[in-house]
Structure 1
């Protein structure tokens, strides 16, 4: 899993999952461009990496625009001479139910997550193709993008779009030797702190160093950012050269491959369907076992004990 001589950009890597990714890549030998919207946070992350013996530089920017994306690529090339790995992790939340979600709530999340991923990956692969020796695109998906989640129209839509882009990029970039995969993490972060079943465990972990219990690490696949980071290091390595177009889940002790959407039941009618024949066929054919939706709610300690 050595990444000596490789150069990576990790967006949103000043803290949380992004910082864990940047540290894992640096520990494997890659030079890393640390990006955060806050310059002080980015600088502190660089110091942490350098204190551990790694190489890193900071590039503050708010991802979403083509200009910000190009700035990150240019920083990698100027500081380290090349770019091999683009990890898009930057994100924001504006959670509200549909009828209360504003245009700004929607546009902000889509701009950072979906457009930010698009612009950063586009700028990166343009340079990787010019280099001519392949590369790695690793983007951040979410269970919300795979299944939907209450109050997250904007976030779920952006993450579903990211998964679709990965599948498209896997085809478009194959001849250039560039892989594209999505990581679907489940970890103790500011985003998951609001979930009642996770909150007390995250608090105990942060305040007292209490390890997360097996009921979370295995049953829920829920862990720390450091549990997720090895997947990013693996996907960035030569060992993952044959893996592309995949959505891969990781959290706690669990590693999983998410399925792509596909037809699961089919029915036919000679000459086509009318509304009436669909209504008659639905409960006994394609609609017999409808698909579930939404992220299954984790159980609290009290619920588990009952």
Structure 2
């Protein structure tokens, strides 16, 4: 992908997946605004991109507020004259079960992920519409937002909400030729290190060992760099006809998530549904199609 002349913002790009996205965008020719709350981490990311021949600057700000979003857009336009791509990646975790989760834990995650995605997208969309040349907005979802995960009420709510906003923004920004998509990445990062099932594969990556095909394909699990190609593709002219989609990426796996849709429909006989009528029809017509919750991992080969 040739992104020469494009300008991108990647929130939360000091390390992990965000750094991989920023690095790939820069490698493809885009000028990148790197963002992190830690100045040293942000500057180290900029240096790594610059040392590899890319162009990047850092904007140190905590994503969430309207002021932070505007600071990121202003940095891009003041430094490089325009804005073409926004990648909403910034996020935090505050995992605990429902009955233990505090208001502060809930609000912190929702503010960074959900509100931060909203404020940054709003600021970027205003700028892109003013430019009149289209644009690319890429938001980051999660399997947790698609199917749920134990101990992640706040994170699941935020990630599901992000995909809902993406579907809406794709319609609202279509006339301005701004595409809006969600990616659903799975990779070895600080956010996946808490999943016991993935520990052997994370340790293998840390040790520089090759990831087994089972992990890369059946689990769709790999390094942050494995997920970066999708971001560069969606930022490019080649993806101009793709919008409103949720696309999974991880390891060797690329997948298109479906919209939520009705799987069983029955009709009452002109009188609506009473509780007894629902109880009568449910076992035969609906029970077998009830949807599962949580991610289901296949058994690794013996």
Same fold (TM over 0.5): yes
Partners of 2:186 and 2:203 lie apart in 1 by 16
Mapping of 1:224-243 within 5 angstroms? 224-243=223-242
SS at match of 2:254: strand
> What is the number of equivalent residue pairs in this alignment?
301
Task: Please state whether the residue corresponding to 1:182 is helix, strand or coil.
Answer: strand
* CA deviation vs aligned residue, 1:60-98 (integer Å, no higher than 9, x gap): 000000000000000000000000000010000000010
Tell me, yes or no, if structure 1 residue 140 matches structure 2 residue 140. Answer: yes
For normalisation by structure 2, the TM-score amounts to 0.98
Q: TM-score, normalised by structure 1?
A: 0.97
Secondary structure (helix, strand or coil) at the match of 1:174 reads coil
| Aligned twin of 1:267 | 266
Q: What aligned pairs does 1:238-257 form with structure 2 within 5 A after superposition? A: 238-257=237-256
Map residues 1-306 of structure 1 onto 2, 5 A cutoff: 1-206=1-206, 208-270=207-269, 271-297=271-297, 299=299, 304-305=301-302
How far apart are 1:198 and its partner, in Å?
1.6
What is the root-mean-square deviation in Å for CA atoms of aligned residues?
Answer: 0.9
CA distance in 2, matches of 1:69, 1:192: 27
**In structure 2, what is the Cα distance between the partners aligned to 1:298 and 1:201?**
14
Question: Within 1, Cα distance between the matches of 2:100 and 2:195?
Answer: 20
Shift of 1:298: 5.8
Work out the CA distance in 2 between the residues paired with 1:140 and 1:121: 12
Gap runs ≥5 in structure 1: none
- The Cα of 1:297 is off from its aligned counterpart by 3.9
| Residues 1-55 of structure 1 deviation map (CA, whole Å, 9 limit, x = unaligned) | 1000000000000000000000000000000000001011000000000000000
What is the alpha-carbon distance in structure 2 between the residues aligned to residue 149 and residue 194 of structure 1? Answer: 12
Q: Report SS of the residue matched to 2:260.
A: coil
Q: Distance in 2 between matches of 1:204 and 1:63?
A: 32
Are the counterparts in 2 of residues 197 and 298 from structure 1 also a CA contact under 8 Å?
no
| Cα drift, residue 204 of structure 1 | 2.5
DSSP-derived class of the 1:34 partner: strand
- Structure 1 segments (4+ residues) deviating >6 Å: none
* Structure 1 range deviating more: 287-296 or 218-227: 287-296
Contact 1:282 1:288 in 2 (8 A): no
Per the alignment, in what secondary structure is the counterpart of residue 87 of structure 1? strand
Deviation, 1:201, is 2.2
Partners in 2 of 1:120 and 1:232 — Cα distance?
17
**1:113–1:298 Cα change, 3 Å:** farther
